Amino acid sequence: MKLYLAAKQLVEDAERRQLRAASFRNSLIKWILTEFWYPLGYVVHGLDFLIQNLAKTVFYVMLFITLTFVASSKLGLPSEQTNAYLIVATILAVFVILFALPSTFSHLNLGEGDLRFLAERIQTLVSSKEELLGLEKNLELMEESVMDRVKALHWSLATLWALFLFAFNQSLGVLLKLDQGEHLGEVIGGSISTLVIAIFAVLFPLLGIVGYRRASNLVFRALGYACNEVALHFAIDGADTRRCNVHLLNNKGQQFGRLRKR
């Protein structure tokens, strides 16, 4: 049970580290925050990357459009040609965002202080390379359970959306047959309003799922990087131990050789 409890504690530590959550001794306050407040912050924290990328995209699009417009004005290009260049500039701005270099995003912007904290926590919970491997296996199992929940949320939302579209199409067909063109505009307008409301009703849960998945990736990737640092620490300690053992054996061999000569 040691490694199971260690993995459970580390996941909680990583969550609180990502949320910059304070520790409370009062169990009631801790329970209220964990059940009602932290989940919201967790999802919002996961959506940070989406907000940052959206802001970056808007900035790049405006920058490319401004530069293109200024260059077209300086060159005295006709309006039709300028509009075409503006469209190309917008496409290029989106292109450089979508195909950014891996070195700019693959590390997930994890802080070195967070990784150092988690590595130190892991070192207090495991004492050997074998225990570390068992801990990593437990963390992988916990990550799988989180991803299973994300998949279930995706499928549930997709099923609800499919059922809504089916019911919407059926009801719209019935209304059009019953109306016989007398209030066709009102029926279509009401249907469009219902569809727009439904789209927004699905969009918010979808954003929540995206943020939850991203935040969970941050937690388990941070733990993975921290485990790698601890594995390196164990490897260095093992190498130093082997060098010491070899040195001691050599010294004992030299002492035994001197005794035989005597």
Cα 137 versus chain centre, distance: 20
- Transcribe 55-120 into DSSP letters: HHHHHHHHHHHHHHHHHHHHHT--HHHHHHHHHHHHHHHHHHHHT--GGGTTTTT--HHHHHHHHH
Say if residue 155's pLDDT is above 50.
yes
Run of H or E residues at 251: helix 184-261
> So what's the pLDDT on residue 180?
57
Say if residue 246's pLDDT is above 50.
no
Q: What percent of the chain has pLDDT over 90?
A: 52
User: Model confidence over 218-240: pLDDT tens digits?
Assistant: 999 999 999 999 999 888 866 55
Nearest to 126 by CA among 257, 237, 230: 230
pLDDT band at 255 (very low <50, low <70, confident <90, very high): low
Say if residue 259's pLDDT is above 80.
no
Where does residue 86 rank: exposed (0-12), middle (13-18), buried (19+ CB within 10 A)?
A: middle
The better pLDDT of the pair 150, 172 is held by 150
Sign (positive or negative) of CA dihedral 223, 225, 229, 234: positive
Give me 136's structure tokens.
């990593």
User: Model confidence over 82-97: pLDDT tens digits?
Assistant: 889 999 999 999 999 9
The better pLDDT of the pair 125, 241 is held by 125
Helix 184-261 / helix 38-46 crossing angle, nearest 10 deg: 90
Domain spans of the chain?
Answer: 2-46+107-261
